[in-house]
Amino acid sequence: MVQQLEHLRAHEAVARALEDGALELHGMYFHVGEAQAYLLTERDEEWVFDRVRSADPAR
């Protein structure tokens, strides 16, 4: 996932939109064994994986 996002950054139009603040890149994957989705975001120039949780507090 990280490599795919880095490849996107290499495209001129994407790099320009990122620089202008018009675009943010995120990635998501699903871990079948855990039945858990993870969101990949960049924070302080590092990639961070966060668990995706339900918006419903009852779950």
Determine the 3-state secondary structure of 13 from DSSP: helix
Residue 56 has pLDDT above 90, yes or no: no
Alpha helices in 2-47 (DSSP H): 2-9, 12-20
C-alpha distances (whole Å) from 39 to each of 11, 18, 44 are 22, 19, 16
Task: Write the DSSP symbol of residue 8.
Answer: H
pLDDT at 59: 62
Residues 2-41 have pLDDT tens digits of 899 899 999 999 999 999 999 988 899 899 999 999 998 8
Buried b (16+ CB within 10 A) or exposed e, 21-50: eeeebebeeeeeeeeeebebebeeeeeeee
pLDDT at 7: 94
